[in-house]
Chains A and B, each alone.
Chain A
Amino acid sequence: MGAYLVRRLLLMAVTLVGMSILIFALLRMVPGNIADILMDASGNDDPKEKARIVHDLGLDRPVTEQYWQWIDGLAHGDLGYAFVSERPAIEEIAPRIPISGKLAGLAIVFAILLGVPLGVVSAVRQNTGLDYGLRVLSLSGLSFPSFWLGLLVLMASVQWFGTIPIYDADAHGFFAQVKMLALPAIVVGFRSSALIMRLTRSSMLEVLRQDYVRTARSKGASNASVNYDHALRNALLPVITVIGIEAAFLVGGLIVTETVFNIPGVARFLVEAIRWRDYPIVQNLTMLIAVVVVTMNFLVDMAYMVLDPRIKFG
């Protein structure tokens, strides 16, 4: 167990260090830097002015030095300064995290509540009309771009309420926030629910073919008991993996959905920062996302160990 944990944590560290190098290198490949964009925007093309900005931001120093400065700062909890706002990056990023976090949490809860039961029903009623209907529904969940789904929701809202839902930073209290974030959360979660549903279905079907299911039937167990007492518990193990990984990968859906619904979360902020070539923000946000993904993977493995009596001390 101890050796496994150490190995696992080491691999995580290697992945994250590699990620920091990859991101840093990619961003330095970008044609044009913030100085170009600022000069463009202001219509000023004085090369001296541009050189001053580049120097102020430290962009004229060797790339390795810039990289080292970033990592050294990270180690001391210093994320540097945002280029655009010139405020500490941490102050820009931190307040946006809970917004995206809540949205993602709500989305994944919705995805589980919808995906797991429908996946089970689909498997149990395999090849019936209901199964076909649910499979089409889940495939559509994987096929609709979530920004389009968001736009459709906005359109329906205009149609029925004459207005579009507006993000209110002053909404307090659990229910007020849930109410405000429910629609975007459903839009983001629809895709995840489709994934969870498909996996639950195929995992259920796989388990229903197992010998021990036949044994349960040979004992006289009813269909319901076979499906829920024997099969579901085994079938849910792989589903947990997908839920964990999907929770982290939800960021992709968040990016476009936060854009459509005008929600000031970290995901939309990442795209804005990329447009402005705001390196400190992009680097740190990307690292944040990578940390979340890697941590979720780790937690999923740990959950497996707890839930599956067969796996012990890897």
Chain B
Amino acid sequence: MTPQLQVENLGTWFYTRHGIVKAVDGVDFHVAAGETLAIVGESGCGKSMTALSLMRLIPDPPGRIVSGAVKLGGRDLLKISEEEMRKVRGNEISMIFQEPMTSLNPVMTIGKQIAEALILHRDMNRQQALKRAVEMLDLVRIPEPAQRAREYPHQLSGGMRQRAMIAMALACNPKVLVADEPTTALDVTIQAQILDLIVELQREFKAAVILITHDLGVVAETAHRVIVMYAGRKVEEAAVGPLFAKPLHPYTAGLMKSIPRLELMRGEERRQTERLQEIPGIVPPLFALPAGCAFAPRCPKADDLCRRERPTYEEKQSGHWAACWHTDG
């Protein structure tokens, strides 16, 4: 499989009064058509900033993409002009956001908001675009799509709104879909439906999906491959099977302990998992990272080496990478 999207050495820094914050610090990954890559980590680990960097939607100032390449269809998205980038957004690469309530324009009807992308990228006139918007709403299984297209976001339930967001993101049949915590703001019962919908539509549209989440349960259900991020860097990467079978990085292991195993395997009727509280401590402020391994202060296995030197990121087993000095023990 040739990768649809190839990201190399991506670096996104924020310039704050406390100093430089390396929100994304030299991250590489790739994702193929029809594949789902999950990027996992606690809040503040840089996963959302990675997503926004792909779209070139980092607020500047204070943020800047300082290095790297984002290759899509033979082009480096970081090199093209802003005007060309606009033709890419919503067309070749599109995004679903966490909060369907605040991410939809409150004074614009659902139909118009979906039609907007079509008018911009598909040369449709208003009527054609609105008609297609209704079809998209039908596709994401919203009942009475013609009626819903005329309604405003506040008139829809949370789940409906997220379906509408998905319809909006897929309207132009993008090559890459970035879903940033698409189910976090939703009720547990709705979460599974939305995930099923994303998986199903991915098959239909053959899109490459980058799923950003803090919830390993979601990962187990939907992803093919997983990247675990901590403090702006990758700490582990593997296919879903091997990762869940034997996590190599203590951070990943810690994340996993925070979900009940049994329910994870069944994948259904999962209770809302708590926000990964079983790892002691918090993500350190990114402007004050320790010299060695960023996870060392919270790590049960940490020793002097960890605190002194940053572990190299290497392939520990075939297709299974990690950055830790103690993967053997």
Q: CA separation between A229 and B168, bound complex, in Å?
A: 17
**Contact between chains at B117 and A220 (CB < 8 Å):** yes
**Contact between chains at B108 and A230 (CB < 8 Å):** yes
Instruction: Provide the residues of chain A in CB contact with B108, threshold 8 Å.
Output: 229-230, 233
**Contact between chains at B94 and A218 (CB < 8 Å):** yes
- Name the residue on B nearest A310 (C-beta): B154
- Name the residue on A nearest B56 (C-beta): A217
**Contact between chains at B120 and A219 (CB < 8 Å):** yes
Instruction: Provide the residues of chain A in CB contact with B88, threshold 8 Å.
Output: 220
Q: Which A residues fall within an 8 A CB radius of B?
A: 210-212, 214-222, 225, 229-230, 233-234, 308-310
Q: CA separation between A216 and B120, bound complex, in Å?
A: 11
Q: CA separation between A198 and B55, bound complex, in Å?
A: 32
Contact among B91, B152, B165 for A220, CB-based, below 8 A: B91
Contact among B86, B99, B106, B155 for A234, CB-based, below 8 A: B106
Instruction: Provide the residues of chain B in CB contact with A214, threshold 8 Å.
Output: 57, 97, 103
Q: CA separation between A229 and B89, bound complex, in Å?
A: 18
Given contacts A211-B99, A214-B57, A220-B117, whether A310 and B105 have CB atoms under 8 Å apart is no
**Contact between chains at B154 and A211 (CB < 8 Å):** no
Q: How far is the CB of B204 from chain A (nearest CB, A)?
A: 21
Q: How far is the CB of B120 from chain A (nearest CB, A)?
A: 5
Q: How far is the CB of B98 from chain A (nearest CB, A)?
A: 8
In the assembled complex, B37 has its CB within 8 A of some CB on chain A: no
**Contact between chains at B105 and A234 (CB < 8 Å):** yes
Instruction: Provide the residues of chain A in CB contact with B55, threshold 8 Å.
Output: 217-218
How many residues in B have their beta carbons less than 8 Å from beta carbons of A? 28
Instruction: Provide the residues of chain A in CB contact with B155, threshold 8 Å.
Output: 309
**Contact between chains at B90 and A212 (CB < 8 Å):** no
In the assembled complex, B87 has its CB within 8 A of some CB on chain A: yes
Instruction: Provide the residues of chain B in CB contact with A216, threshold 8 Å.
Output: 105, 116
**Contact between chains at B57 and A218 (CB < 8 Å):** yes
Contact among A211, A222, A225, A308 for B103, CB-based, below 8 A: A211
Q: CA separation between A56 and B49, bound complex, in Å?
A: 81
**Contact between chains at A210 and B102 (CB < 8 Å):** yes
Q: How far is the CB of B116 from chain A (nearest CB, A)?
A: 6
Contact with A along B159-202 (1 / 0, CB 8 A): 00000010010000000000000000000000000000000000
Of B104, B105, B116, B168, most A-chain CB atoms within 10 Å: B105
Task: Offer 5 A-B interface pairs, CB within 8 angstroms, sorted by A.
Answer: A211-B103, A219-B120, A220-B87, A220-B120, A221-B120
- Name the residue on B nearest A215 (C-beta): B103
In the assembled complex, B1 has its CB within 8 A of some CB on chain A: no
In the assembled complex, B107 has its CB within 8 A of some CB on chain A: yes
Q: CA separation between A126 and B102, bound complex, in Å?
A: 23
Instruction: Provide the residues of chain A in CB contact with B106, threshold 8 Å.
Output: 212, 234, 308-310
Contact with A along B115-141 (1 / 0, CB 8 A): 011001100000000000000000000
Q: How far is the CB of B151 from chain A (nearest CB, A)?
A: 9
Q: CA separation between A217 and B57, bound complex, in Å?
A: 8
In the assembled complex, B142 has its CB within 8 A of some CB on chain A: no
**Contact between chains at A234 and B168 (CB < 8 Å):** no
Given contacts A216-B105, A217-B57, A233-B107, whether A309 and B91 have CB atoms under 8 Å apart is no
- Other A-B pairs beyond A219-B116, A229-B108, A309-B152, 18, CB < 8 Å: A211-B103, A212-B106, A214-B57, A214-B97, A215-B97, A217-B89, A218-B89, A218-B97, A220-B87, A220-B89, A221-B90, A222-B86, A229-B116, A230-B105, A233-B108, A234-B107, A308-B106, A308-B107
Instruction: Provide the residues of chain B in CB contact with A222, threshold 8 Å.
Output: 86
Q: CA separation between A211 and B57, bound complex, in Å?
A: 12
Instruction: Provide the residues of chain A in CB contact with B57, threshold 8 Å.
Output: 214, 217-218
Q: How far is the CB of A237 from chain B (nearest CB, A)?
A: 8
Given contacts A219-B116, A221-B120, whether A211 and B102 have CB atoms under 8 Å apart is yes
Q: How far is the CB of B221 from chain A (nearest CB, A)?
A: 25
Instruction: Provide the residues of chain A in CB contact with B95, threshold 8 Å.
Output: 215, 218
**Contact between chains at A211 and B97 (CB < 8 Å):** yes
Q: CA separation between A231 and B254, bound complex, in Å?
A: 43
Q: CA separation between A86 and B99, bound complex, in Å?
A: 68
Contact among B102, B152, B154, B168 for A219, CB-based, below 8 A: B168
**Contact between chains at A218 and B102 (CB < 8 Å):** no
Q: How far is the CB of A142 from chain B (nearest CB, A)?
A: 28
Instruction: Provide the residues of chain A in CB contact with B97, threshold 8 Å.
Output: 211, 214-215, 218
- Name the residue on A nearest B154 (C-beta): A310
Within B12-67, the residues touching A (CB, 8 Å) are 55, 57
Instruction: Provide the residues of chain A in CB contact with B152, threshold 8 Å.
Output: 309-310
Q: CA separation between A290 and B117, bound complex, in Å?
A: 49
